Structure 1
């Protein structure tokens, strides 16, 4: 694991702290966009990142906001700002020597899912796949959702009532290859036994399909 500092692309010279892992022979890397009030140390995202790493994918867990910014509740829900930070991190990966040749995927949780989809709409084919876990993809807005071309998986807890419906609304607006998967009995944070493991498995399978080079059998 490498601790990195990512220029946020603002006039204030803000740097975002991140943790970068690139397994040997990786062909893809996943940027994590966490939800409001969370950080790169989120135990749920950290768990998912380890599952992806075990399948040969690189991961970048980073803070979308500085510590001072995160104290401002309004900024936590500023999807436009979160999207710009995610795009800045994407641009950094595209220039960084260890990652510039890797396919890019996004994994978003809560409000981070909206930022991931807005960024994917902006990046178009430069993003290979998107996964939302317990996310608010509806906050990305219909214009952005309709412009996403990256294959997108929406993972929602089967008992996360209210959020399920919001994901269904966003799903209907997507024009890309897409899938909506419910994890039975899971609530918003996937705290039930086996729920996070199932969500991570769904995410890993989806991302591996688009980020990992498949070895053809004779």
Structure 2
């Protein structure tokens, strides 16, 4: 396993990221989109990323906000809901991967959590030839709004069964998609999936979704 800290230039900011690739030929890369005050150090997303790495996929966990923006967001919570800003930076990260030796031309998957899920869907719509699959974990796809029908990559929406409000929002957003999708409900799980076995189910479902669509896409 090869891991390195990278800097991704995006929308006037230099974003820190952790790029990890298993040994051997890399078939695809999954780019993680955090939201709601989280960062690339999110233990939940890092746990999912480890499972994807074990499955042979590359991962890029990226801070979508600069350090100054993170400090401001901690006080005001305004940047975490700026879907346009977050999506624009994801698009820049997709383009950066495409221009980087070792990841150029590879299929990209997007894994979004919370508001990062909406940003991932918007970015997928803006880069339909680069993004082959999208997974949302406890996400807010409804915040992608009118972009939802323009998404061209298949979408997996993972929601906790006890996270009732978010589940309703996911089911309503799914009805606006024009691509293959699935709503995967983790029974009894709440928003952050802290229940025993819940996050493992998230990782397994995401891994299956990405492996089938990213490796086949290549």
Please name the residue that 1:91 is paired with.
95
SS at match of 2:68: helix
Please name the residue that 2:175 is paired with.
172
Q: Give 1:48-197 correspondences, 5 Å limit.
A: 48-71=48-71, 72=73, 73-141=77-145, 143-197=146-200
**Residue deviations 1:33-77 (CA, integer Å, cap 9, x gap):** 012110000000000000000000000001000121012221111
Unaligned runs of 5+ in 2: none
Tell me, in whole angstroms, the C-alpha distance in 1 between the residues paired with 2:127 and 2:147. Answer: 11
SS at match of 2:31: strand
Please name the residue that 2:17 is paired with.
18
1:126 CA drift (Å): 1.8
User: How many residue pairs get matched?
Assistant: 210
Tell me, in whole angstroms, the C-alpha distance in 1 between the residues paired with 2:129 and 2:8. Answer: 23
8 A Cα contact 1:70 1:76, kept in partner: no
8 A Cα contact 1:138 1:166, kept in partner: yes
**Which portions of structure 1, spanning 4 or more consecutive aligned residues, are displaced by more than 2 angstroms?**
none
Task: State the superposition RMSD in angstroms.
Answer: 1.1
Against the structure 1 CA distance between its residues 125 and 101, is the aligned structure 2 distance closer, same or farther, given a 3 Å change threshold? closer
Q: Are 1:209 and 2:177 counterparts?
A: no
Unaligned runs of 5+ in 1: none
Please name the residue that 2:203 is paired with.
200
1:189 CA drift (Å): 0.0
Against the structure 1 CA distance between its residues 177 and 125, is the aligned structure 2 distance closer, same or farther, given a 3 Å change threshold? farther
